[in-house]
Amino acid sequence: MINTILELDFLDGINKKFKLSVAEPKEDLEELQIASAMDTILEKNIFISNNTDLVKSVAARIIKTTVETMEF
C-alpha cells in the first residue's frame, strides 16, 4: 500500500514555519493548483499560527511512503 501526503509550508506573522498536511490528495495535482490553493489559504485567513495570520507560502511537497504489512 502507498500512502500519500501533501505538505504545505507557510510562514506566520512572526516568521515561524507552519506546516499543513493533507492526507491522500488527488493523484493528478499540478504545481499551479497547489500554488493557487496556498494563495487561497492566505487570502481567506483560515489558519493562525502563534496567534498571527499566515503571511507567506514557502514550499509544498508530495510525500509517498510504501507500507508493507506483515502477516503473522
Asked whether the beta carbons of 60 and 5 are under 8 A apart, the reply is no
pLDDT digits (tens, 9 = 90+) for 8-47: 999 999 999 999 999 999 999 999 999 999 999 999 999 9
pLDDT at residue 24 in the model? 97
Asked whether the beta carbons of 59 and 47 are under 8 A apart, the reply is no
Q: How far is CA 29 from the centre of its chain?
A: 13
Q: C-alpha angle with apex 35: 30 to 39, nearest 5 degrees?
A: 150
Could you tell me the pTM of the whole model? 0.89
Cell digits for 60?
A: 509544498
pLDDT at residue 29 in the model? 95
pLDDT at residue 40 in the model? 97
